[in-house]
């Protein structure tokens, strides 16, 4: 199996080599840039100050979608491009992009009128251009309630049924990083850039940074630098040019989860609020994910959490749409929030601000790539490398043709997913200890890399144990995360490699000690380090619950 080289080796390479491209920021955008660059034969370094996807990219709504809402703001091009990228990702990462039925309820006297819904969904179908997703259907009130009894309300008139995709955002990011590494890139997490390096002509030629694990300063030399730091983008632009104007408008989006037993939606539901926002209720196994909000964020970029008003907004929306569930504060399992790095448009409200990506090349050559969506990351990566390639040409380096548009992701199985799942279920060595449900879960989380997770359970049967009783995640995933996926903290394994932080009733706290034993053994933690790791995780959980104290 292709995996990361040992971290020490990658760190050493950062200091020894001169890279064609240094990418700063290991969210979906930076990971896609590094992957595209490496696939073109360029030497690439990718540094991230936290874990992979630890910024915005693990806290999205986890949808691979065209963005139905943007039709209302007239952004037809963005919807068209996103739908085309949705089709691409479904092909290249079928284990990570799961086609999902969405119901869009229509009401008598409120919400989007039925005819408007029809027009919108027909346009959505047309823009998808017949690419794999099914065409929408209009359902009567009775049909709607047969499919989703939770929508029962006197004003319900019916619903539109359409198809979009669900994903695992953190893992999509990680698979980009893994693929970049397999193509020769040097990705290192927990390395923070602190300043940019320039040559006497003022051209950016690398960065100064710090290995956050050892505290050691380091210099990374590169012919071009890509700023893919999402919400931190303006900070780097200012490091490059103190007079640069801020271009970002940071919009906070919060989510919360409630137990599936309290809101047992059979399929995803998209429901419009009076302010025009579209809120989603998406089933994710043990929980239903609800979100999101869209409000200007005035605090520090590092300090993003769901505010009491965010939770109130989402719960009000849910109570209105699913009256029988009567959700209250007490039902909330977990919250998380993040910032959309939107490119500011003077005089335009936050909800209407464009979600399109923007690529800027500064006079120093610094390429900044911001905005965009998880859904469009492959395209963004390609376009950012196109911009970097123009700079490289001046240094006599020529980049090959982009190859990421049709390159499968590392976990993509050779067979269609149902066949692959059947194959995995048939590989009985490990299955004698694991339920079909767990094996299916591994198939969709890891794709063909699930064989490697299963191998761990064959070598050590105790790793077949569920991390949290009643859920499909198993101990082997913690070991696999540490050995093969760069996991360095309990939050990495419990929130991003698995999703217990937002899916388990106790947010993973119920399994913390055992998770710490497993991870600590892999990473050689001392008793003190183990204790501080548990405390760190506890603090993250407490932060996600702070809205309760502040409300």
189/178 Cα distance (integer angstroms): 12
- Judged by beta carbon, residue 71 or residue 339, the one nearer ligand FAD is 339
Query: CB–CB of 342/251 below 8 Å?
Result: yes
- Judged by beta carbon, residue 111 or residue 209, the one nearer ligand FAD is 209
Please state the closest distance from residue 277 (CB atom) to ligand FAD, in A: 11
The alpha-helical segments, DSSP class H, found in 21-168 are: 28-39, 69-72, 76-92, 114-128, 141-147
Please state the closest distance from residue 207 (CB atom) to ligand FAD, in A: 8
Asked if the bond preceding 292 is cis, omega within 30° of 0, the reply is yes
Cα–Cα distance list, 368 to 224, 231, 538 (Å) = 11, 12, 35
- Judged by beta carbon, residue 27 or residue 520, the one nearer ligand FAD is 27
Pairing status of strand 268-272 against strand 98-107: parallel
- Judged by beta carbon, residue 98 or residue 141, the one nearer ligand FAD is 98
Sequence-distant (≥ 6) Cβ neighbours of residue 124 within 8 angstroms: 66, 68, 71, 79, 83, 136, 162
CB atoms within 10 A of CB 110: 12
Please state the closest distance from residue 463 (CB atom) to ligand FAD, in A: 29
512/214 Cα distance (integer angstroms): 25
Q: What is the DSSP string of 144-196?
A: HHHH-GGG--TTEEEEEEEEEEE--HHHHHHHHHHHHHHTT-EEEESEEEEEE
- Judged by beta carbon, residue 159 or residue 188, the one nearer ligand FAD is 188
321/315 Cα distance (integer angstroms): 10
Please state the closest distance from residue 372 (CB atom) to ligand FAD, in A: 5
503/507 Cα distance (integer angstroms): 7
Query: CB–CB of 130/63 below 8 Å?
Result: no
28/23 Cα distance (integer angstroms): 12
Please give the backbone phi and psi of residue 386, each rounded to the nearest 5 degrees, phi first. -55, -45
442/463 Cα distance (integer angstroms): 14
Please state the closest distance from residue 392 (CB atom) to ligand FAD, in A: 22
- Judged by beta carbon, residue 26 or residue 410, the one nearer ligand FAD is 26
Q: Which residues contact ligand FAD by CB under 6 A?
A: 24-30, 47-50, 54-57, 60-63, 192-193, 228-232, 253, 292, 338-341, 372-375
Please state the closest distance from residue 169 (CB atom) to ligand FAD, in A: 6
- Judged by beta carbon, residue 234 or residue 473, the one nearer ligand FAD is 234
Please state the closest distance from residue 474 (CB atom) to ligand FAD, in A: 27
Please state the closest distance from residue 515 (CB atom) to ligand FAD, in A: 22
First to last CA, the chain: 49
- Judged by beta carbon, residue 28 or residue 471, the one nearer ligand FAD is 28
- Judged by beta carbon, residue 158 or residue 231, the one nearer ligand FAD is 231
Please state the closest distance from residue 51 (CB atom) to ligand FAD, in A: 8
- Judged by beta carbon, residue 146 or residue 216, the one nearer ligand FAD is 216
Please state the closest distance from residue 310 (CB atom) to ligand FAD, in A: 10
């Amino acid at each position: 199996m292709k995996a990361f080289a040992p971290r020490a080796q990658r760190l050493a390479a950062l200091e020894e080599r001169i890279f064609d491209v240094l990418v700063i920021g290991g969210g979906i955008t930076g990971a896609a840039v590094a992957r595209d660059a490496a696939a073109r034969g360029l030497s690439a370094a990718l540094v991230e100050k936290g874990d992979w996807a630890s910024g915005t990219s693990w806290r999205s709504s986890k949808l691979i979608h065209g963005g139905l809402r943007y039709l209302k703001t007239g952004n037809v091009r963005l919807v068209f491009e996103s739908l085309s990228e949705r089709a691409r990702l479904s092909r290249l990462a079928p284990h990570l992009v799961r086609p999902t039925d969405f119901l869009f309820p229509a009401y008598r006297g409120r919400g989007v009128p039925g005819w408007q819904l029809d027009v919108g969904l027909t346009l959505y179908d047309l823009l998808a251009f017949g690419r794999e997703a099914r065409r929408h259907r209009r359902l009567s009130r009775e049909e709607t309630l047969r499919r989703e009894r939770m929508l029962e309300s006197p004003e319900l008139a019916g619903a539109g049924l359409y198809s979009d995709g669900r994903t695992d955002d953190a893992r999509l990011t990680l698979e980009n990083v893994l693929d970049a590494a397999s193509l020769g890139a040097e990705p290192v997490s927990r390395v923070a850039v602190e300043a940019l390096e320039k040559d006497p002509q003022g051209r950016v030629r690398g960065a100064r940074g710090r290995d956050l694990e050892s505290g050691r300063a380091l210099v990374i030399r590169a012919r071009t630098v890509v700023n893919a730091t999402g919400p931190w983008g303006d900070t780097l632009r200012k490091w490059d040019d103190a007079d640069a104007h801020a271009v970002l408008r940071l919009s906070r989006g919060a989510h919360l989860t409630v137990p599936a037993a309290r809101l047992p939606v059979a399929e995803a539901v998209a429901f419009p609020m009076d302010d025009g926002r579209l809120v989603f209720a998406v089933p994710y196994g043990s929980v239903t994910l609800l979100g999101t909000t869209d409000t200007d964020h005035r605090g520090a970029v590092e300090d993003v959490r769901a505010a009491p008003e965010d939770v109130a907004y989402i719960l009000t929306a849910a109570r209105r749409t699913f009256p029988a569930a009567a959700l209250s504060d007490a039902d909330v399992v977990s919250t998380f929030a993040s910032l959309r790095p939107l490119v500011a448009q003077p005089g335009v409200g936050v909800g209407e601000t464009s979600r399109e990506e923007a690529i800027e090349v500064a006079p120093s050559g610094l390429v900044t790539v911001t905005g965009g969506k998880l859904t469009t990351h492959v395209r963004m990566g390609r376009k950012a490398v196109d911009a970097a390639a123009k700079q490289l040409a001046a240094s006599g380096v020529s980049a090959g043709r982009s190859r990421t548009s049709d390159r499968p992701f590392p976990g993509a199985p050779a067979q269609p997913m149902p066949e692959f799942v059947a194959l995995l279920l048939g590989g009985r060595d490990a299955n004698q200890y694991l339920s079909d449900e767990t094996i299916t879960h591994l198939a969709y989380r890891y794709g063909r890399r699930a064989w490697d997770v299963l191998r761990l359970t064959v070598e050590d049967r105790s790793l077949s144990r569920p991390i949290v009783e009643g859920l499909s995640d198993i101990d082997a995933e913690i070991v696999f995360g540490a050995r093969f996926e760069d996991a360095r903290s309990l939050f990495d394994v419990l929130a991003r490699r698995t999703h217990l932080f937002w899916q388990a009733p106790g947010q993973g706290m119920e399994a913390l000690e055992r998770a710490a034993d497993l991870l600590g053994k892999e990473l050689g933690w001392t008793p003190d380090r183990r204790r501080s790791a548990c405390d760190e995780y506890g603090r993250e959980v407490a932060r996600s619950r702070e809205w309760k104290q502040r409300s």
